[in-house]
Amino acid sequence: MSKLLVRTISGIILASIAISAVLFLDKNIFKFFIAVLSAVAVWETANLLTKKFEKINPISTAIIGFLASLSILFFNFYLAVLTIFLYGFYEAVKKWDINYLTSIVFSLIYGSFFVSSLGLLVDEDKYLLLILFATVWAGDTFAYFVGKTFGKNKLAPRLSPKKTLEGAFGSILGSLIAGGITAYYFNHLEAIVPTAIASIVMQIGDLFESFLKRQVGVKDSSNLIPGHGGILDRIDALMFASIVFLTFYNFL
């Protein structure tokens, strides 16, 4: 089976699960699963950083990430911050190395805070998540096919050698088309604004994770998803785009 076919099948299954969860799960159950997803994202991030800081414990860090995400989604934002810094301090003092403090805090903020924004967005309106999904997924799809067909100029060769400017423009176009249509369908025309901003910011989210992987010398964040790599490889752009949507609606 070709890699593209495996990637396509995995993508369809994941998309079906995500859409079904948004449409049919109780809001609190959905947010609980977002906390689980946050824990996996924290685990992948911490596991990557063990390549440079081998004494980081990805499992215990993921547990703290789960608790921090639950706090963000159900209790208090500042309790999550306190939990993260207390755990980071505890681990750093044992190693007597400030690098462990910064690495652990980074893992927890990147994994739990960014992913938890998906759960906070459902509090605004669950259909906003479907607009977000359409924006990001169409952007990813257009980037792949436009870049593969027309790509000549490298976007950021040091970070991601295969990404091209043409692919990035294709991604933005795909996001605007799919996000705009979905926003119109769900009667959220104002969502065209965060869709347009997210279509650009999500490019940075993708490169951000690429930078992290290049720093530790790995290709994928894990091998959890056939054809895609890890959870972070699948949602890196989504995490940044979600923050854009959440910020826009909080501002409104």
pLDDT-wise least confident of 3-12, 124-133, 159-168:
3-12
In this prediction, residue 2 has a pLDDT band, given cuts at 50, 70 and 90, of: low
Helices and strands, number each (H, E), in the chain: 10, 2
CA-to-CA distance for 85 and 221, rounded, in angstroms?
Answer: 24
Residue-wise pLDDT for 232-241, tens only, equals 988 999 999 9
Q: Give the pLDDT score at 4.
A: 66
d(CA 34, CA 175): 23
| Model pLDDT, residue 170 | 92
CA dist., res. 243 & res. 116, Å (int): 9
Query: Over the stretch 221-230, which tens digit does the pLDDT of each residue have?
Result: 887 777 667 8
* Rounded Cα–Cα distance for residues 235 and 242 (Å): 10
In angstroms, the CA 195 to CA 184 distance is 12
Q: What single string gives the DSSP state of each residue in 86-141?
A: HHHHHHHHHHT-HHHHHHHHHHHIIIIIHHHHHHHHHHH-HHHHHHHHHHHHHHHH
Looking at every residue in the chain, the average pLDDT score rounds to 91
Query: Within the chain, what is the greatest distance between any pair of CA atoms?
Result: 55
Structure confidence by residue, pLDDT tens digits, 37-56:
999 999 999 999 999 888 89
220 touches 226 (CB < 8 A) = no
Q: What letters, b where the CB count within 10 A reaches 16 and e where it falls short, cover 167-192?
A: bbbbbbbbbbbbbbebbeebebeebe
Q: Where are the domains of the chain?
A: 3-251
Of 217, 201, 177, 222, the residue nearest 44 (C-alpha): 222
Confidence category of residue 12, pLDDT binned at 50, 70, 90: confident
Residue 24 neighbours by CB distance under 10 Å: 9
Amino acid 67: pLDDT: 97
The token pair that represents 197 in the structure block: 């901003």
Let me know: does 181 contact 138? Beta carbons within 8 Å: no
